[in-house]
């Protein structure tokens, strides 16, 4: 199944569950300041498959947004936490709240506000991003920065350092983690060069 098909199926299953016998949630979904960019980002995702955006629109009200505790303790800059967040669509039950349990993968969305800079970081999980918005720039290993249009697939091998920065509009991307899911990303000390 393709990523688009998976998300469309997941969105449909959640809609069906909500319409039938789904129990009332014990707590409302968590929101973050960066969520103000969720709907504008979906509207700006014109280059991404329509079925995928429709699935995310359905999932949106149910998403619980969270932030890496390493960044909450030591934010990389003063505005970062107001312009960064992620929400898990499917993932392990002992991780951040997920809409569906998945013990061996983590799938979700990353949202960055306009001009947000998510600096170099690394983690042992394998990571794939699927970009939904335009204007974002991505850095891997030794760089340089490169623009990736909507619909790009970006691969990060385990422990490779990588960074992302949004352009003049917010950046929305789907991420998929496989492998070592329990270890959060950590910022790395070496910075990117200007560019």
Cα 153–chain centre separation:
13
Q: Which is nearer to Fe ion, 127 or 137 (CB)?
A: 127
The C-alpha atoms of residue 19 and residue 70 are separated, in whole angstroms, by: 38
Instruction: Quote the least distance from Cβ 125 to Fe ion, whole Å.
Output: 8
Burial class of residue 74 (count of CB atoms within 10 Å of its CB; 0-12, 13-18, 19+): exposed
* Closest separation in Å from C-beta 71 to Fe ion: 12
Q: Which stretch binds Fe ion (CB under 5 A): 5-13, 18-26, 121-129, 134-142?
A: 121-129
Q: Closer CB to Fe ion, residue 127 or residue 148?
A: 127
d(CA 87, CA 107): 9
Smallest separation (angstroms) from Fe ion to the CB of 182: 15
Alpha helices in the chain (DSSP H): 3-19, 38-43, 50-59, 69-73
Nearer Cβ to Fe ion, position 14 or 116?
A: 116
- 127 contributes a contact to Fe ion by CB under 5 A: yes
Distance, in Å, from the CA atom of 123 to the CA atom of 159, rounded to the nearest integer, reads 5
From CA 150, how far away is CA 111, in angstroms rounded?
Answer: 14
If binding means CB under 5 A, how many residues of this protein chain bind Fe ion? 1
Minimum CB–partner distance for residue 50 and Fe ion (Å): 27
- The whole-angstrom separation of Cα 195 and Cα 179 is 32
Minimum Å distance from CB 127 to Fe ion?
5
Q: Which is nearer to Fe ion, 36 or 178 (CB)?
A: 178
By CB under 5 A, which span of 9-17, 68-76, 123-131, 143-151 interacts with Fe ion?
123-131
Which residues of the shown chain bind Fe ion in the complex (CB under 5 A)?
Answer: 127
């Amino acid at each position: 199944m393709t990523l688009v098909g998976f998300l469309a199926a997941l969105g449909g299953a959640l809609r069906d569950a909500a319409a039938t016998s789904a129990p009332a949630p014990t707590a409302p979904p968590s929101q973050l300041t960066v969520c103000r960019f969720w709907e504008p980002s979906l509207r700006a995702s014109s280059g991404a498959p329509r079925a995928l955006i429709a699935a995310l629109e359905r999932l949106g009200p149910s998403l619980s947004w969270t932030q890496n505790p390493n960044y909450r303790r030591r934010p990389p800059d003063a505005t970062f936490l107001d312009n960064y967040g992620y929400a898990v669509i499917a993932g392990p039950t002992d991780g951040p709240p997920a809409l569906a349990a998945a013990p061996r993968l983590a799938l979700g969305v990353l949202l960055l506000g306009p001009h947000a800079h998510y600096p170099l970081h690394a983690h042992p999980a394998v990571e794939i991003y699927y970009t939904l918005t335009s204007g974002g720039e991505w850095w891997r290993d030794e760089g340089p920065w490169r623009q990736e249009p909507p619909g790009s697939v970006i691969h990060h091998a385990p422990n490779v350092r990588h960074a992302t920065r949004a352009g003049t509009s917010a950046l929305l991307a789907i991420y998929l983690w496989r492998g070592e899911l329990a270890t959060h990303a950590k910022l790395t000390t070496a910075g990117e060069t200007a560019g």
